[in-house]
Chain A
Amino acid sequence: MPKLNNANDLESLRSELQRARKNFRTTLTLCGGTGCQASQSRSVIDALKKEVNKQGLDKSVYVRTSGCHGFCEQGPLMVIEPGNIFYCHITPEDVSEIITQTLLNNVIIEKLLYTDPITGKKSQTEAEIPFYKAQDRQLLSQNRLVDPCSIEDFIAIGGYSALTKVLAKMTPEKIINEIKESGLRGRGGGGFPTSRKWADCKAAHGDEKYVICNADEGDPGAYMDRSILEGNPHLVLEGILIGAFAIGAAQGYIYVRKEYPLAVEHARIAIKQAREYGLLGEKILGSKFSFDVEIARGGGAFVCGESTALMASLEGKVGEPRPKDVHTVE
């Protein structure tokens, strides 16, 4: 991997990647997230890749393993583009039919379509499915556009362009102001305005500042942190980088539950790739900004999701909350 020395390097890499992706006539995106892995999506993905190769279609068909699409209950699932065709509960035995029927002859396979349990109506495309229709996915909608282990996929859809913009054209004050105008709030439960947290941290005493990404996600039933870190880790890294630049931090941590082994693995791979491209480390993209990230695995204590306990845990101590008379940014 060539190191990217400036924004132009990144842009030319991006155009190159986009050009290469145009050669694919069809993209099959299969979910390889934790939920779908539990329903054996791995064996479907392997069978599909094998069959595509066997039929000599690997130059025109891109088989992408993505993170969670949100509809885990229907897994293993896939989306075929162009066409937005959605198949669910796929088994390895369905693979050759998908290729001969749908890919080569544009025939939809009825039995793999989603059936609404109430109306009994089948949906041909992902967009028609009532479950998705009711949602306005902002961050997680990108999940099916990227393979979480491929920084190239992320760059091809515009990844790290917000970082280049920030480094080239914005001051920390301007970033914080823009965050304020966007109305962005914390996702950890309190909904605290992100701009205030960043402004306070920037103004706080002390030379060394840190960005901590709290992906401890202890609440059962909530797994947006898992979905995003496991499905699109570079998006998280880009966000951390922008936050770090705004507050003046040189080191960051991603504190992630050990119970999410796939999220840990994908975050690790993402950090490694970002370092290789020079998107983490010394003088990022030729700027004066240096920053790196480490992963800390949570030890299975729910209370460690609380910010003061989390920081104690990061310091290698017992994760017990401390009274917040001293606020965490001070």
Chain B
Amino acid sequence: MSTATLESILEGRRSQPQQLIEVLQDVQESYGYVPEDAMRSVSKNLGVPLMEVYRIANFYKTFSLKPRGKNVITICMGTACHVRGAHLLLDQVLGQLGLVPGATTEDGQFTVERVNCLGACALGPVVVHNGDYHHHMTPNKLRKLIASIRSTSMEEIAHA
């Protein structure tokens, strides 16, 4: 964990307990999760008990306490996507990767998350891969998407 990043996140927000959630949002964005070290440091710098920092990080769905995969696959489970078969997509991706929602594959490549409505219901079911939206998803299209992400990362590893 880079302390430089954490420093810049805390900049101008020290001793302001009301900034807790915004600070944790930035930590989550920069590190992909909220590490324990960061929670300790945030607790000290904002003047919020560690217990409370943990409570917040645990309460809000946005925060993840474990490192997330390189590829975050988000399945929209909102009403509009649900009626168009989002649960089939969730079954597909979890089966293909052997995961439960929120968990990460052992190789650190994939995390699968669920979300409730992304505001693109007309195009549902919607699946997001690291910020890229995929519309009118089907289990078959999703299977191919996962396979292609996997082979791209394999190549990257081979060339590294």
Residues of chain A touching chain B, judged by Cβ–Cβ distance below 8 Å, are: 34-35, 37-39, 72-73, 75, 217-221, 223, 226-227, 258-261, 296-302, 313-319
Decide if A297 touches B22 in the complex (CB within 8 Å).
yes
Closest to B81 in A: A220
Closest to A72 in B: B122
What is the CA–CA distance of A34 and B60 in the complex, to the nearest angstrom?
23
Decide if A318 touches B123 in the complex (CB within 8 Å).
no
Closest to A225 in B: B119
**A-B contact sample (5 more), CB < 8 A, given A72-B122, A221-B117, A301-B59:** A35-B120, A38-B126, A223-B120, A259-B117, A259-B119
- With A297-B25, A316-B20 already in contact, the answer to whether A39 and B116 are too (CB < 8 A) is no
Closest to A35 in B: B120
Decide if B21 touches A221 in the complex (CB within 8 Å).
no
CB neighbours of A221 from chain B (8 A): 78-80, 117, 121
Determine if B56 is an interface residue (Cβ-Cβ < 8 Å).
Answer: yes
Determine if B154 is an interface residue (Cβ-Cβ < 8 Å).
Answer: no
Decide if B117 touches A220 in the complex (CB within 8 Å).
yes
Q: Mark B61-72, 1 if CB is under 8 A from A, else 0.
A: 111000000000
Closest to B20 in A: A316
What is the CA–CA distance of A300 and B116 in the complex, to the nearest angstrom?
9
Closest to B127 in A: A38
CB neighbours of B121 from chain A (8 A): 220-221, 223
Decide if B79 touches A258 in the complex (CB within 8 Å).
no
Decide if B59 touches A220 in the complex (CB within 8 Å).
no
CB neighbours of A299 from chain B (8 A): 21, 25, 59-63
CB neighbours of B56 from chain A (8 A): 316-318
Decide if B60 touches A301 in the complex (CB within 8 Å).
yes
- With A296-B22, A299-B21, A316-B18 already in contact, the answer to whether A38 and B120 are too (CB < 8 A) is yes
Determine if B103 is an interface residue (Cβ-Cβ < 8 Å).
Answer: no
Decide if A315 touches B120 in the complex (CB within 8 Å).
no
Decide if A72 touches B59 in the complex (CB within 8 Å).
no
Q: List 15 A-B contacts (CB under 8 A).
A: A35-B122, A37-B133, A38-B126, A39-B123, A73-B122, A220-B116, A220-B117, A258-B25, A259-B116, A297-B22, A299-B25, A300-B61, A316-B17, A316-B48, A318-B55
Decide if B19 touches A316 in the complex (CB within 8 Å).
yes
CB neighbours of B146 from chain A (8 A): none
Decide if B25 touches A34 in the complex (CB within 8 Å).
no
Determine if B145 is an interface residue (Cβ-Cβ < 8 Å).
Answer: no
A298 shortest CB reach to chain B, Å: 8
Decide if B62 touches A258 in the complex (CB within 8 Å).
yes
Determine if B50 is an interface residue (Cβ-Cβ < 8 Å).
Answer: no
Decide if B119 touches A35 in the complex (CB within 8 Å).
yes
CB neighbours of A298 from chain B (8 A): 62
Closest to B74 in A: A259
Most buried by B among A223, A227, A299: A299
Determine if B115 is an interface residue (Cβ-Cβ < 8 Å).
Answer: yes
B141 shortest CB reach to chain A, Å: 13
Closest to A315 in B: B18
What is the CA–CA distance of A32 and B62 in the complex, to the nearest angstrom?
25
CB neighbours of A316 from chain B (8 A): 17-22, 46, 48, 56
Decide if B133 touches A300 in the complex (CB within 8 Å).
no
Most buried by A among B21, B25, B115: B21
Decide if A314 touches B18 in the complex (CB within 8 Å).
yes
Closest to A38 in B: B133
Most buried by B among A217, A227, A259, A313: A259
A49 shortest CB reach to chain B, Å: 21
CB neighbours of B19 from chain A (8 A): 316
CB neighbours of A39 from chain B (8 A): 123, 135
B35-56 with Cβ < 8 A to chain A:
46, 48, 55-56
